[in-house]
Amino acid sequence: MSERNSNSYQSPADSLTEETLLEAADTFFGQRTAIERALEIYTQRVQELQKVLDQVQTKQATLHFLLGEGQEQEVKAFYSRIGIDPESVPRPVQSIEPELSELRVPFAFRDQTRYVKLLTSVYAQFAATAADYMHGRSYKNPNDSRRRRISVHYDQVYAFYLQLQKQIQRTNQENSPTQVLQFVKQLDVDRAAMESLISVPLHYTLDQEMAIEEPDFAQSGIVAYPDFPVAETVKDVIADCARRFFCEHPAQARHILEKVRNCGSKGAKP
């Protein structure tokens, strides 16, 4: 075969090889770019959800304060009475404080009744906020009143994390640098044949060096809360808990009411 004919065959082959290489590069870097963008979205959602979690734990800290000023025994007994395993309920982080300045002592003729009403009201706020945090809250789309949106919530963020985790694992396994380099070397028939003859192993250390790191959800600070019963369904149980505590610890219950009254009038924290 003449040199001219040989070049005529090689030119289309070279063009096809170049096109294949470009496609492989686009796939390799394209997937990684998409994952980087997804990681940014995940980080943003975690940060948004953390703000909601702070609200939940502030309501929770306030509830715990009313339950014997955070006495663990009283707190656990309360959760058990409303049908929730106390061990399944995360505790507020130490930096979170009760927000008594937002409370007002309800009107009633007796302190015990005031305490019952206050505990019921605070629990209702906590349970509702925890539900929004876990499952989201529907609200009107500010850009289109005909549509509704749902607020960022735990279920959403955790599902996104699981999807992202699978995507990263699949990319690290199926589109690793070693596999891409092996594919590229197969396009160079002469070199591949030579390495096959001299038994050069196709081994690369780039896989570990260039592996995409998975986010660690456990270290994000995001925690799951159980589904608390709606206040209306357990109001009698809450009232019994409040009356029992007031009867057993009347001085402490009145001290709690006094703190709420003082903080509410001064806008201060305990």
In three-state secondary structure terms, 217 is helix
Q: What is the DSSP code string of 6-48?
A: HHHHHHHHHHHHHHHHHHHHHHHHHHHHHHHHHHHHHHHHHHH
CA 172/CA 208 separation, integer angstroms: 9
Cβ–Cβ < 8 Å for 157, 208? no
Tokens of 130: 């925890």
Tokens of 13: 């082959």
Domain ranges in the chain are 47-167+214-266
Cα radius of gyration (the chain): 31
Q: What is the DSSP code string of 84-121?
A: --GGGSPPPPTT----GGG--PPP-SSHHHHHHHHHHH
Q: What is the pLDDT along the chain (270 residues), one digit of tens a residue?
A: 544 454 444 455 445 445 544 454 445 556 778 888 999 999 999 999 999 999 999 999 999 999 998 789 999 999 999 999 999 999 999 899 999 988 999 998 999 999 999 999 999 999 999 999 999 998 887 777 778 888 999 999 999 999 999 988 888 777 655 555 454 545 455 545 545 544 444 445 555 555 778 889 989 999 999 999 999 999 999 999 999 999 999 999 999 999 999 986 554 444
The 10 Å CB-count burial string (b at 16+, else e) for 224-235 is ebeebbebeebe
CA 223 to each of CA 72, 154, 229, 238, 245: distance values in angstroms, whole numbers, following the listed order: 20, 8, 19, 25, 29
CA 7/CA 177 separation, integer angstroms: 32
CA 175/CA 205 separation, integer angstroms: 14
pTM value?
0.77
